[in-house]
Amino acid sequence: MALDFYWYPKCGTCRKAKKWLEEHNIEFNEIHIVENPPSKEELSSIYQKSGVELKKFFNTSGQKYRELGLKDKLASMSEDEMLDLLSSNGMLVKRPLTVGNQKVTIGFKEDQFVEAWEN
């Protein structure tokens, strides 16, 4: 089964991750995270599968994150509110977001990709 690879083509980290997947002959569906952000339901499912806390899904270095002052607001938000926010704007989601059957990686660190996606 091909991975779902949510990415932003102008993002250098995303391009590195894509290149890694291609070099390792790993099948994936490219999904432009701004044009086709994951829905609230998809994000909820990805979050459950990931085993990491929901705030790790936020692109904390992004302009939109700073504009909305989320650094101070996330701690008091419910999961539901966070999922609404993440699904409302793909630029708020840390990328690339790579999703397989039972695994999820957020961002790109080669050692994590090797562990998660190299079979």
Residue 51 zone, left/alpha/beta (φ > 0; ψ -120 to 50; rest):
left
| Contact (Cβ atoms closer than 8 angstroms) between residue 3 and residue 113 | no
Q: What is the pLDDT of residues 35-86, one digit of tens each?
A: 999 999 999 999 999 999 999 999 999 999 999 999 999 999 999 999 999 9
- Structure-token pair, residue 77: 């938000």
Give me the residue spans of the domains in the chain: 3-17+28-117
What is the pTM for the complete model shown?
0.94
To the nearest whole percent, how much of the chain has pLDDT over 70? 99
3-state SS, residue 25: coil
Q: Whole-angstrom Cα distance, residue 52 to residue 82?
A: 14
Q: Whole-angstrom Cα distance, residue 31 to residue 38?
A: 9
| CATH number attached to the domain at 3-17+28-117 | 3.40.30.10
CB-based contacts of 32: which residues, under 8 Å, 6+ apart? 7, 8, 9, 90
